[in-house]
Amino acid sequence: MVARRYHIRVESITLFVFGGLAKIEREAGKAAQDFNIAIAGPLSSLFLAGCFWLVAHFSPANSMLAAASKWLWEINLTLALFNLLPGFPLDGGRILRGISWGITQDFTRATRIASSSGKFLAYILIFIGIWLALNGNWVGGLWIAFIGWFLLSAAQESYAQVAIHDTLTGVRAGDIMTSDVPTVPRDISLEEYVHEVLRTGRRCHVVTAGGNPVGLITLHGVRSVPHDTWGNTSIQAVMLPLDRIHSASPSEPVIGVLDRMQKEDVNQMPVASEGHIVGMITRDTILRFLQTRLQLGRFAEH
């Protein structure tokens, strides 16, 4: 609700044993917004804990309602306190990021601080879990170590996503697209097309008719047809028609193109300008660009 108040759409909420992690379409634009979105979860748990405590306090002693309410206020209080730990991407880590962002005025640096805090907390949980397991509490120890491992992975992944976004900021599709767009005529068979893929290593081609583009063919489309019919099936039967192709414009930010690729589950996307396909951008292209940028960044630091 707080994210929607700032016009940030929540795509999904994944529930874990220690609470839920919301997947939002974009990060908050200001430190105060980031702080408010993060603190809403723990405050909600504390509010529920207070409500259930009142129910338990004023319910008849030893009743089912009193017992259930007692469990619920204790669970919600524990959940709130756990999520307030300063470990990114827990709410406490995001609160720490909001505070750090407000002080430093640097989102990437604030994320690095919160991520480092999250990894430190994760290592502590792993150490405590291993220590408990070695001292006889195998179930509790391994469970705490597992939570620490999960938080460690989540902290590393969350910072990596921010680093990728920061690296791709300001880069347009036209800057890194491949201008050499491979084409194949629409009347060749799927078997002939597979031989072309094996020969060139290109897994996506623009289908043409009379020199004009009419669709797009990929290996994914070929796999949807039984192998024994490849020789008698033309690529026109399985190509994606031109009016159904999701394309990018040369001026579109690469980070937006990557987001669309992930949502549409595609590995490549044509780049079109004024109705003509002028290039192709793939996940491999973006990955190589990221690797180059990150390597150059490390060299610059040294």
What string of pLDDT tens digits covers the 302 residues of the chain?
888 888 888 888 888 766 677 777 777 888 899 899 989 989 999 999 999 999 998 988 888 998 999 999 999 999 899 888 887 778 888 899 999 999 998 888 888 888 888 889 889 999 999 999 988 888 888 888 988 888 888 888 777 777 777 778 788 888 888 887 788 888 888 888 888 888 887 777 888 887 778 888 887 778 888 888 888 888 888 888 877 777 888 888 888 888 888 777 777 788 888 767 888 888 888 888 888 877 776 544 44
3-class state of residue 44 by DSSP: helix
Cβ neighbours of residue 299 closer than 8 Å, sequence gap 6 or more:
none
* Domain spans in the chain, listed from the N-terminal domain onward: 2-168, 173-292
104 vs 89, 151, 166, 191, 272, CA distance in Å? Answer: 19, 25, 16, 59, 40
Chain centre distance of CA 247: 21
**For 99, what's the count of Cα atoms within 13 Å in the CB-facing half-sphere?**
11
Token pair 């060749």 is found at 188
Cβ neighbours of residue 186 closer than 8 Å, sequence gap 6 or more:
207, 208, 209, 214, 215, 234, 235, 236, 239
Question: What is the model's pLDDT at position 39?
Answer: 92
> By C-alpha distance, which of 60, 47, 55 is closest to 71?
55
Any bridge partners for residue 277, and if so which? 272
Determine the CATH number of domain 173-292.
3.10.580.10
Question: What is the model's pLDDT at position 18?
Answer: 63
Is the CA virtual torsion 143, 144, 147, 149 positive or negative? negative
